[in-house]
Structure 1
Amino acid sequence: MTSTPTDTPLLNTLSVVEVVLRQLGRRLPAHVSREDLASAGKVALVEALMRFDGPTHEAQPYCHTRVRGAMLDELRRQDPLSRRTRRRVKTVNRATTELTGQLGREPADFEVAAATGLTIGAVREANRFATIDEIPLDGAADGMRLELPDPLAACPAESAARDDTASSVQAALARLPSKQAFVVRRYHLDGATLDDIAADLGVSRERARQIRVAGEKQLRADFVVLALWQSLLARR
């Protein structure tokens, strides 16, 4: 049995990273890099498929759990606040709310300090941090990490075209953001130079290169997933 990029279970599994990113993205703090989250999710997806040994229709929920855990771990890594600071912020917020109800006004810092047992300085620091957006960081990943192929290696689009799997390439390109897909297609399939692409987009040559690299990384992850999917089907 063979698999193509149009298989529904495969498409559902490939879309896990985008689905989780959309779910978390509604509440992401401003300091969080969506690209870093997506990268962590792609690595987790590859790891999950390497470990998965169940029926293919169960791959998507299994991978969803792993990818979500990896993205939450990445959020923790990027979190500028320690857990201790977050607990203190919650304590101060709770005390402030309770005192406001009791006093009929917003309490002074010294009143919150007395209610919480914190110093006035600690209360003021917590109030400063309270303005930073927070996302629940529930869930966990197992900490395993897997390096994707060398970013300096040939783009999968080139290899796939030479191996007469252009349909797979086009399907993978369709899953990229439109600008990345355009740049990768022009550079690797049309033979355009970065200067040509930069002129097409109205951006600098360096910006065109950055878009190309980002697209290539996404393609590599997709092709690794495709290979693992084929391996999974071969074990059925």
Structure 2
Amino acid sequence: MNEYEGTVTTETDELITTHMPLVGHIVRETMGRVPSHVSRDDLTSAGLTALVLAARAFDPDRGVPFDRYAATRIRGALLDELRSVDWASRSVRRRARDLAETRSQLANVLGRSPNVAEVAQAAGLSRDEVAANDDDVSRAQVLSLQGSTTTPIEELVPTRAPSPEELLEHAERLTYLREAIEELPERLRGVVQDYFFAERPMADIAAELGVTDSRISQMRAEALTLLRDALNHALEPSLVRPTGKTGGVAQRRRESYFAAVAARHASGARSVSSPLGAAG
């Protein structure tokens, strides 16, 4: 019984890790069809969650390839995410911009992301006001998708299958993704593994780490940003977004992380090629 359960878990995890690039592919194509202020991280999170659920529900006896089944679930999740966005009031959008600028300025000075108390003090607001605005922004996504495009929402998510060239690109991204996850700071890596692979409730992860649910949500977003930027740094450098003060602590930490991922990748490439060289 235990051996069977272990096999199922291993096979499920393999489906998840192998098909993570499929999420990136569908999200990337979707981002090309929606307004620029749609959150890539939110779509990626929705897609990864759908992938996990698809892997756990997959029944190979039905004769449907997993990639096709998973793609359907992922597209459905992205549509749900896009449908969920609401109008944000002008005041929410205005305050969101002000708070974003305040956070950016504080990050440059502090060399790290400021906490709610620091943002509130700098903005002349109470902590509750900052938290409430963040919550409004999170729910509303600071956009109205239907108000900014006349395209039916179902047409915003691509339906075609990846080409062979794209599948090769996915395989390369998968390798980097695995390495990038391994090089994440311990707590962020744990959140990624617990939330996306073990499918643990956010509340359970928060309780184990002794933090709030919102902090786990922030850590998840931070991890996804690092993973995205690590992959872009290796494969599409022009897409890496600058953050923090140039040469600051936050920037140096990011560069150190990118270097660690690159070193792990180079080490893996050498370990693969060494047996061939020895055989020759």
Shorter-chain TM-score bucket reads: 0.3 to 0.5
- Which structure is richer in relative contact order (CA contacts within 8 A, separation 6 or more)? 1
Counting helix residues as a fraction of each chain, which structure ranks higher? 2
Calculate the TM-score normalised by the size of structure 2. 0.32
Q: Which structure: larger Rg?
A: 1
